[in-house]
Amino acid sequence: MESGGRPELPLPQVHAFVVLAEELHFGRAAARLGIAQPPLSQQIRRLEEKVGHALFSREPGRVRLTPAGRELLPAARQVLAGLADGLAAARAVGSGRAGCLRIGFAASLAWTVLPGLLRGFGERYPGVRLDIREMTTAPQLDALRAGTIDIGLLREPPDDGEGLGFRTVLEEPFVAVLPAGHPLARQRSVRLEQLADSPFVLLPREVGPGLHDQIVGLCTGAGFTPRVAQRAVEWQTVCALVEAGLGVSVAPAGIRRIRLKGVAFRRVATGGVRTRVAVGRRDGDRNPLVVNLLAMVGGAAPGPA
């Protein structure tokens, strides 16, 4: 078969040609290839028919490359080397040792789960390129379903994942986020009902409905509905607005790693309720990169006290 007017050279014939060119002896070349001499001679003859010229001169007791053979040899070696590289690359991708893994993550996890997970995965699979995308929970769920990310690191995944599966990797308690000058900041811990009269700064529900509802539910359980004065998509912005005196908040304990001089973080009693961090993926996804990452992820771990 020919493509674009150029002959296509079958790989077995190219391989046989290179081995014979290196050995310059039909017996040794056939032994190296693991075949008898007649099939080797047939392979070379067919290749010469494709090329249209003799590739070897055959003299009694001596085999030599012709000028056409010498010209073909570098290209033939390049073909075999390219195939070997391609096979190695395919095996690496197929085993999850190479390729690109697309990971979405909630910004707050940059202070907890994300660094250790990425460091551990990178050390174990240095040939894998990581495409890291900061995304809130709801967009992560959409991106997982659409196939634009492979893994999601998110808070409070939905009970009904609609084709998605989740594995809990961390459970964190909550803290109260207060302006440093707030009267409750003088206490080591606060009760939720003590925040009832303060305006709140919260995440919009649409970006993280599970966590939003969990925080509102905690407040409701303490006897009040939080009066939301400001909303912000990222926890760092929430803390900045609290520092500015625009309200208080309730947040996962990992948020304490955001260092703002004008913000105080205090333990808050929640009756043992914690926020859940999970790894999300598509049900049935057998991408070896995903499988390898999930193999590294253990069960639920306790969050900071």
Segment 30-65, tens digit of pLDDT: 999 999 999 999 999 999 899 899 999 988 878 999
Question: pLDDT confidence of 304, banded at 50, 70, 90?
Answer: very low
Residue that the structure tokens 């395919």 belong to: 90
CATH code of 211's domain: 3.40.190.10
* Mean pLDDT value across the chain: 88
Q: Can you read off the two tokens belonging to residue 22?
A: 């290196």
Question: pLDDT confidence of 8, banded at 50, 70, 90?
Answer: low
Residue 119 and residue 182 in one domain: no
Summarised one tens digit per residue, pLDDT across range 73-121 is 999 999 888 887 777 767 777 777 788 999 999 888 888 888 889 999 9
Q: Can you read off the two tokens belonging to residue 38?
A: 């007649």
Domain containing 114 equals: 99-167+278-296
Residue 239 and residue 262 in one domain: yes
Cα 274 to Cα 158: distance, rounded to the nearest angstrom? 15
Quote the pLDDT of residue 34.
93
| Residue 161: pLDDT over 80 | no
Cα 152 to Cα 285: distance, rounded to the nearest angstrom? 13
Task: Give the chain's domain count.
Answer: 3
Residue 120 and residue 59 in one domain: no
Cα 36 to Cα 14: distance, rounded to the nearest angstrom? 17
Percent helix, strand and coil across the chain, each to the nearest 5? 45, 25, 30
Cα 64 to Cα 70: distance, rounded to the nearest angstrom? 10
Cα 151 to Cα 280: distance, rounded to the nearest angstrom? 6
302 domain-assigned: no
Residue 144 and residue 186 in one domain: no
CATH code of 68's domain: 1.10.10.10
108 domain-assigned: yes
Which of these, 152, 156, 157, 128, lies nearest to 140 by C-alpha position?
A: 152
